Structures are given as C-alpha cells and as structure tokens.
Amino acid sequence: MWSWRGVSLRRELLGDRHPDVAASLNNLAFLYKSQGKYDEAEPLYQQALSLRRELLGDRHPDVADSLSNLAALYYNTQRYSEALQSIQLAIQIYEQTLGTDHPTTQNALGWLQLIQNAM
C-alpha cells in the first residue's frame, strides 16, 4: 500500500527530482482518488505531472498518464471542462508516441467520449 512514507523514502534514496518519485506521487494520488479523497489526490497528481514534465519533457507517455489521471479525477468531481482539456492533451501525446491503435490511446479515447457525453 502506498503512503507518504513510501514517497518520503524514495525522495530520501533518489532525491526530489527522480521519475520514481513522480511515480510514487502518482500512485499515492491514485489511492486517494480511489478512496474518494479528491482534495488530497489532486495536488499529488499535479506534483507528479509537473515533475514528469520537468524530467521527461512535455511529450512523454508518462506525462500523458498524469494528464489522463487528472482527467479522471476532474470527471469524478464533475469538472468536465478541465477533464476535457486534460484528456485531449493526453491523447495528443499518446497518438504521437504510442500510435493511434495502442491500447492506452484507445482507452484515452474512451475517456474522451465519456467526458463529452457528460457535458
């Protein structure tokens, strides 16, 4: 189970600026989101996104994963405009890096349809 201790340990071992730290932040955010703790999840997702952008660049699939996770959180909190913006950017990255037929891209396209239907 993910916890702040896990994030702290990775930071201690790897430093603040490491992709595994971003992954840990993302995983803890996912745990909070799955528990309905959206207010706790969002800043962690944002931190993971910012760190991934800094370390990996704006066009990396891990950045798209962070955007997709934020889109799901925004969808769950009925912030559909923000969800739409995030998933559209994620799809652009997925299509460029993984291709249009990749399962991850197809999953994001499913989220896009779900968000559009909710609007």
According to the model, what pLDDT value does residue 1 have?
46
> Is the pLDDT assigned to residue 47 strictly greater than 90?
yes
pLDDT digits (tens, 9 = 90+) for 83-101: 999 999 999 999 999 999 9
CB 49 within 8 A of CB 24: no
Please state, in angstroms and rounded to a whole number, the distance separating the CA atoms of residues 108 and 64: 10
> Is the pLDDT assigned to residue 26 strictly greater than 80?
yes
CB 49 within 8 A of CB 70: yes
